[in-house]
Amino acid sequence: MNRERSLSGSNGYGRELGIDIMAELGSRTGASTPVRWLDLCCGSGRALVEAAMLLGERGMAEQVEIIGLDLVDYFVGGPLPSSLRLISGSVTGWEPDGRFDLITCVHGLHYVGDKLGALSRAASWLSGDGLFLANFDVRSIRRANGAPAGRRLTAQLRAQGFTYDSARRRISYHGHRQVQFPYRYLGADDHAGPNYTGQPAVDSFYESLRQAVSGGLPEAE
């Protein structure tokens, strides 16, 4: 598990998410309040420190607030730039103190139990024109019998407003919304084996609230 990604470079946040994070933050500055970036499952926080230092060098430290959240309280050492806070907590239980203009999650959802719950929570934390962007493998969402949830889930994600790029395995969402998936979280398997990244990952199991008696998400079409 790589907890040390940089902001840029061949294995960096920009490459993994397909955006230039500094440009995205810069394009949102200019309002009376700071731009707020939340990075879920931030690992060591290295990429966030790099971003905060770049902002400082560009005289923009006051214009952007960065929060990193990770389950494991094992962050980069040393004093942090004033624009950055690193917080220990779970994406499935943590409560933010406000909305965010940018929410990212770089290869973190692979390890979360209730992934659909995490997606719902992230969408509800966005500002009106906020952007959520994460690496997400739809095959990690399983029916109660272990089968992949399939295209019905992808369709449900799209119906709820998410954009899923199946080739790059990225999910995104624009704007604030209370998303409610019609699925119930059953539990997770942390011995699911490697996913497309080659790293061991966690499968998450759900049943359809509409078809609970059939014991799982609807069959793929």
Ligand X SMILES: C[S@@+](CC[C@H](N)C(=O)[O-])C[C@H]1O[C@@H](n2cnc3c(N)ncnc32)[C@H](O)[C@@H]1O
Q: Which residues bind ligand X (CB under 6 A)?
A: 1-5, 41-43, 69-72, 90-92, 106-108, 111-112
Nearest-approach distance from CB 92 to ligand X, in angstroms: 5
Nearest-approach distance from CB 132 to ligand X, in angstroms: 14
Give Cα separations from 9 to 14, 40, 51, 91 (angstroms): 8, 20, 13, 26
Rounded Cα distance, 114 and 69, in Å: 16
| Choice between 95 and 221, CB closer to ligand X | 95
Nearest-approach distance from CB 43 to ligand X, in angstroms: 3
Nearest-approach distance from CB 56 to ligand X, in angstroms: 21
What DSSP state is assigned to residue 194?
A: B
| Choice between 1 and 209, CB closer to ligand X | 1
| Choice between 90 and 154, CB closer to ligand X | 90
| Choice between 73 and 221, CB closer to ligand X | 73
What DSSP state is assigned to residue 41?
A: T
Rounded Cα distance, 21 and 48, in Å: 10
Nearest-approach distance from CB 213 to ligand X, in angstroms: 30
Q: List all residues 6 or more positions away from 16 whose beta carbon is below 8 Å from its beta carbon.
A: 5, 106, 107, 135
> Is 35 in contact with 101 (CB distance < 8 Å)?
yes
| Choice between 39 and 207, CB closer to ligand X | 39
